[in-house]
Chains A and B, each alone.
Chain A
Amino acid sequence: MSTSEFYLPEGLPAPAPAPDGLDKPYWEGVSVNKLIVQRCKGCKTYQWGPEWVCHKCHSFDIGWEEVAPKGVIYSWERAWHPVHPALKDHGPYIVVLVELPHAGNIRMIGNLLGDPKQDIKIGANVEAVFEHHTGSKMPYTLVHWRVTK
């Protein structure tokens, strides 16, 4: 799934690929609606966020693998107090920490789409929604989540 509607107002710090190239495959993936994460070629351990070395076997030969863009809600927060000028008068928004059981239980942070005042259930199934900011000077994509049945 992808969307051109923005969950949070523009003006927050935009994500940029690391200058050293570490996470280039991830950002290229999300730009075409694919979730691509690190998986060690040696010991097959999934790893997120990205590292230069496998934390398990210390191999530097870390591959990238496309994983199904789905998961379960591991934790969440609902932010009310704006700590950035772009969020002033915006109202509450939901952040979820999503676990990917099919990818070594790695976790990713995103926003939960839908009513910002909705009830949130830890353990609920969610799917990724790719939010493309193509109009930016440096185009980027955010990965949000939406509850599925």
Chain B
Amino acid sequence: MSDRSLRGKTAVVGVGETTYYKRGGAPDAEFVLAIKAILAACEDAGIDPREVDGFSSYSNDRNDPSRISAALGIKELKFACMQWGGGGGGGSGAVANAASAVASGVADVVVVFRALAQGQFARFGQGPKMSAIAGDMAYSMPYGVMSPAQMFAMRCTRHLHETGITRDTYKAVSLATYAHAQNNPRAVMHGRPLTPEAYDNARWIVEPYQLYDCCMENDGAAALVIVSADRAKDLKKKPAYILGATSGSEYRNAAPSHNAPLYATSSFTSLAPRLYDMAKVGPKDVDVLQSYENFTGGVVMSIIEHGFCTHEEANSFMTTENFLAKGGKLPLNTSGGNLAECYMHGLELITEAVRQIRGESPNQVKDAKISMVTSGPMVTPVSNSIFGSRETL
């Protein structure tokens, strides 16, 4: 192992979240949600919150680490890190940044968090209300390309066209994810199962996405605590060791006006090999996958780009049965994810990946030892991460 690799040097030792709410439904201000999730994660880890000395987040989270440190009486802040750009694509990137800080001795106890109160602040899924737009967006917004769904739909249309993959794969992602949420009391869609008929009959949002291909919009906060592998051994919960975490994207992915040379991808083609190389595992070793669903089509691309099947195999491999925790070949989004647990901007996928290693998932995959996350398909930068139990070190 190269001395510069992150593999096995740090671990997630605490996870926590607030109650997850429908958009606008949180009784607390966003800052309060952030604090509550951080305290819950520290409680779970058995670490005094005053001992936290670093914070890592993404997507321009509004809750400033210095302000959080003041509010919680944190003894000394040593690390305050924001992953730049890519929205929810920064989730695993924030883990990579936190783990890098701990592995290199920059800080000792780093919290990764994300908080959203869309009632208090603006919604993701609505177009902007300004009267004029200049710059890159002047070439798309006036044509009605304004929401995230509208920004990514053409990548998926092209992908379906190039590969012959059908929208049945989208449906499988959605149905499996909803099925998992029915066993998860934390899930906003708990008690609201999705039938194949309801999926089919739902309205179009923007072709090729129907309603249940799209993530929810929610309020809440989630957090996790990262410490060194040494420290992790003595804490109360089973550590989820960080075997690898990478972020980035392909050559000129952000070329304006949809000019990315590799257009029909989820932006992971260059990251996937780097992640497996760092973690020293391959797709065959992965027991369970949490794959960020802004839109189901992005999940389909992410799964292929991470080598779980080829384009040619996708139509037969990507079935609801294969995605279920119970008996599936690739258990997927076992908490209900962004579609049905909570759109916690994908941090709920990472807490779920950790719970799988601990044996605490509401849809536990038997003996899960290698647990993987892909964060934010089709944006740039995207990121991904792999967590392992002690025996994988």
Contacts and interface: CB of A to CB of B under 8 A. Distances in A.
Interface of A: 8, 12-19, 23, 48-51, 55, 74-81, 83-85, 87, 92-93, 95, 97, 106-111, 122, 138, 140, 142, 144
28 contacts: A12-B142, A13-B131, A13-B132, A13-B141, A14-B142, A16-B138, A18-B134, A23-B138, A48-B259, A74-B263, A75-B155, A75-B157, A75-B161, A77-B150, A77-B154, A78-B206, A79-B153, A79-B206, A81-B204, A81-B206, A83-B126, A83-B147, A84-B127, A84-B144, A95-B145, A107-B263, A138-B132, A140-B142
A97 B258 contact: yes
Contacts of A16: 132-134, 138
A77 B142 contact: no
B154 A75 contact: yes
A14 to B, nearest CB: 5
B157 A76 contact: yes
B145 A13 contact: no
Given A14-B132, A84-B127, A49 B154 contact: no
B143 A109 contact: yes
A26 B258 CA distance: 17
A103 B129 CA distance: 34
A109 B153 CA distance: 13
Query: What are the 3 tightest A-B residue pairs by CB atom distance, in nearest-first order?
Result: A49-B256, A84-B127, A77-B153
Contacts of B80: none
Contacts of B161: 75, 122
A107 B259 contact: yes
A99 B247 CA distance: 29
B63 to A, nearest CB: 27
Give the interface centre of A23, A77, A95, A110 by most chain B CB atoms within 10 Å. Answer: A77
Nearest to A27: B138
B126 to A, nearest CB: 5
Interface string B255-278: 111110001000000000000000
Nearest to B264: A75
A93 B128 CA distance: 18
B257 A49 contact: yes
Interface string B173-216: 00000000000000000000000000000011111100000000
Contacts of A50: 256
Interface residues of B, number: 44
B131 to A, nearest CB: 7
A48 B256 contact: yes
B144 A79 contact: yes
Contacts of B231: none
A17 B145 CA distance: 18
Contacts of A12: 127, 141-142, 144, 146
Contact of A80 (B142, B155, B158, B205): B205
A77 B207 contact: yes
A148 to B, nearest CB: 20
B150 A83 contact: yes
Contact of B150 (A14, A79, A85): A79
A13 B133 contact: yes
B142 A83 contact: no
B134 A17 contact: yes
- From B127, B142, B204, B208, residue with most partner A Cβ within 10 Å: B142
Given A49-B139, A83-B127, A111-B144, A15 B158 contact: no
A15 B144 contact: no
A48 B259 CA distance: 7
Given A18-B135, A81-B205, 8 more contacts: A8-B143, A13-B127, A74-B263, A77-B207, A79-B153, A84-B144, A93-B144, A144-B143
B140 interface: yes
A49 B259 contact: yes
B133 A55 contact: no
Interface string B115-130: 0000000000111111
Nearest to A80: B204
Contacts of A14: 131-133, 142
Given A15-B132, A79-B150, A81-B204, A87 B144 contact: yes
B205 A106 contact: no
Given A48-B257, A83-B127, A95-B144, A15 B153 contact: no
B78 interface: no
A55 B261 CA distance: 13
B207 A78 contact: yes
Contacts of B252: 55
B360 interface: no
Contacts of B147: 83
B136 interface: yes
